[in-house]
Amino acid sequence: MFPATFPASDWQLHVTIVPPFETELDADAVAALLPRAAPIPIDGGARERFGAHRTVPVTVLRPSAPLLALHTAAVGALEASGVTVRDARHVREGYRAHATDQRTGRLHPGEHAVLTELSVVARAPGGLRRVAARVPLHP
């Protein structure tokens, strides 16, 4: 469980479904737009480095039709409501599902996990982050 607020450096292990975006909608309105889905099994694939300088260690997830469908539906619903994704290179055909290494751990190649909820993460004062809304994934 996330604390009320946390520095970006203290994120828990997670998979980004939609990259950072700008919107005038509040977190509950964003959460209401997210597609409902069943929990999604994921598998760790190759280790890579992301970011402009290739300094961010990640485990790329093995291709998953349910994960890609969730990403595509979420991006479509958000964009239809006026959301602007900051870097469109990382959506749809450019989406590369991955888990970024965190202080709390990392997803190892070949490791299995299950996504059980979507979280809407917002910026908080002082450069902190907060989980503003949660959407459980149900069968």
The two three-digit tokens of residue 29, written as one number: 């309105």
pLDDT confidence of residue 12: 87
Model-level pTM? Answer: 0.90
> Could you give the CA distance from residue 132 to residue 6 in angstroms, rounded to a whole number?
12
For the chain (length 139 residues), average pLDDT per consecutive 10? Answer: 77 91 92 96 97 94 97 96 93 95 94 96 88 92
List domains and CATH numbers for the chain.
Answer: 6-136 (3.90.1140.10)
pLDDT confidence of residue 3: 65
> How far is the CA of 2 from the CAs of 14, 46, 70, 118, in angstroms?
11, 27, 23, 13
How far, in whole angstroms, is CA 65 from its chain's centroid?
Answer: 16
